């Protein structure tokens, strides 16, 4: 136990050193103006006489086929109003998030000159965490009810690995990931290593767009879970190799190591200490290794196949 505590302290020190900002660029001269509209405030403070104006202001949020009676029922729904009031307590002042989004958009414009900054609309989506952020070219919708803080009583029944990301700090990360989805062509590679690196590409773009954010926040792990990933990197890699997983097309590997889960499934006693999506984290390290060892532009990187990235990464996890 004493040795375990010592190792934990050592990895915590390593974690702190490893998280010094990289990829810092000067974005101070870049303009990234955007508007923020608080739809949930306008909607839940409205009465029937306000609906026509709301429809003009937010036309994409009001399907023509939905009668006004449905909208009024939502406005007066006690559960939704309780959630609305909680949002106002947490996000009465939206300046912190606005500044973070502005800095994110500046970084995206730095790397993609033609990027058009979207308008931002905040909404209440009844805690549908699978749709935290919706992006459709010129507008970006943020479901603030999914970011009330991991201790919020509204998340009491949520598993820890979900609710630990239901906090304000994750908004800018989730927005960045949503933008990245439209910048990376979906991979046709069906091998496990190909899928790992495809996910690693997305996380590497977070390194560029959010250089001052910590690794544990970018990947959505607790610090303890990230420390486990750092400490066990070589063992995980050895496990993948010894079990002939790298070039396997078994879809079950995605469920075990790439999809959201409380932990990764090695079928070992250590599993519960591991973070979920460990394959994504490993892919991230492979991509980082590739970018450190190859002088390529961002566009070239995005166009490089997963096979070539793996080949040229010369990835070797630290023992």
158 has pLDDT over 50: yes
> Percent of the chain having pLDDT more than 90?
91
Q: Which residues of 264-273 are buried (b: 16+ CB within 10 A; e: fewer)?
A: bebeeeeeee
| Dist. CA 18–CA 138, nearest whole Å | 36
Nearest by Cα to 32 from 111, 105, 101: 105
Nearest by Cα to 24 from 267, 305, 212: 212
Q: Residue 22's pLDDT is what?
A: 77
2 has pLDDT over 50: no
> Percent of the chain having pLDDT more than 70?
93
Q: What's the token pair of residue 53?
A: 């104006």
Q: Residue 23's pLDDT is what?
A: 85
7 has pLDDT over 80: no
Q: What is the pLDDT of residues 62-74, one digit of tens each?
A: 999 999 999 999 9
User: Starting at the edge strand that comes first in sequence, how are the strands of the sheet with 139-143 ordered?
Assistant: 36-38, 119-123, 139-143, 133-135
Contacts of 274 (CB under 8 A, 6+ apart): 225, 228, 229, 232, 263, 264, 266
More confident residue, 298 or 8: 298
Q: Residue 21's pLDDT is what?
A: 65
Q: Residue 319's pLDDT is what?
A: 78
Q: What is the pLDDT of residues 224-278, one digit of tens each?
A: 999 999 999 999 999 999 999 999 999 999 999 999 999 999 999 999 999 999 9
Do 129 and 162 meet the contact criterion of CB atoms below 8 Å apart? yes
Average pLDDT over residues 29-33: 96
| Dist. CA 216–CA 224, nearest whole Å | 9
Beta bridge partners of 134: 141
Residue 35: DSSP 8-state? -
SS3 134: strand
**Per-residue confidence band for 1, with pLDDT thresholds at 50, 70 and 90:** very low
49 has pLDDT over 90: yes
86 has pLDDT over 80: yes
**Per-residue confidence band for 20, with pLDDT thresholds at 50, 70 and 90:** low
Nearest 5°: the CA angle 192, 165, 234 is 40
Average pLDDT over residues 77-84: 97
Nearest by Cα to 97 from 27, 173, 165: 173
* Average model confidence (pLDDT) across the chain: 93
Q: Residue 13's pLDDT is what?
A: 46
SS3 68: helix
- Prediction pTM value: 0.92
Q: Which helix (H) or strand (E) holds 192?
A: helix 192-209
């Amino acid at each position: 136990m004493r040795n375990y505590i010592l190792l934990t302290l050592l990895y915590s020190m390593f974690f702190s050193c490893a998280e010094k900002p990289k990829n810092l660029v000067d974005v101070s001269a870049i303009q990234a103006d955007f508007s923020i509209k608080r739809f949930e405030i306008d909607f839940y403070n409205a009465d029937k006489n306000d609906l026509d104006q709301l429809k003009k202001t937010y036309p994409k949020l009001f399907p023509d086929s939905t009668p006004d009676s449905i909208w009024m029922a939502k406005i007066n729904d006690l559960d939704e109003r309780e959630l609305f009031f909680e949002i106002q307590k947490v996000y009465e002042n939206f300046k912190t998030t606005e500044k973070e989004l502005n800095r994110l958009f500046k970084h995206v414009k730095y790397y993609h000159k033609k990027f058009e900054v979207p308008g931002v609309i905040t909404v209440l989506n009844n805690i549908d965490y699978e749709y935290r952020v919706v992006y459709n070219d010129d507008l970006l919708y943020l479901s603030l009810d999914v970011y009330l803080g991991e201790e919020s009583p509204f998340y009491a029944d949520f598993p820890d690995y979900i609710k630990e990301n239901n906090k304000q700090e994750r908004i800018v990360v989730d927005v960045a990931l949503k933008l990245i989805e439209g910048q990376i062509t979906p991979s046709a590679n069906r091998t496990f290593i190909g899928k790992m690196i495809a996910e690693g590409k997305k996380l590497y773009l977070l390194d560029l767009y959010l250089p001052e954010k910590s690794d544990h926040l970018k990947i959505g792990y607790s610090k303890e879970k990230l420390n486990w990933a750092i400490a066990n990197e070589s063992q995980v890699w050895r496990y993948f190799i010894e079990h002939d997983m790298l070039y396997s097309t078994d879809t079950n590997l995605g469920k075990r190591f790439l999809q959201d889960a409380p932990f990764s499934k090695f079928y070992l006693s250590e599993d519960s200490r591991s973070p979920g999506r460990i394959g994504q984290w490993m892919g991230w390290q492979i991509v980082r290794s590739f970018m450190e060892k190859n002088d390529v532009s961002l566009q070239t990187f995005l166009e490089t196949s997963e096979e070539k990235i793996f080949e040229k990464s010369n990835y070797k996890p630290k023992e």
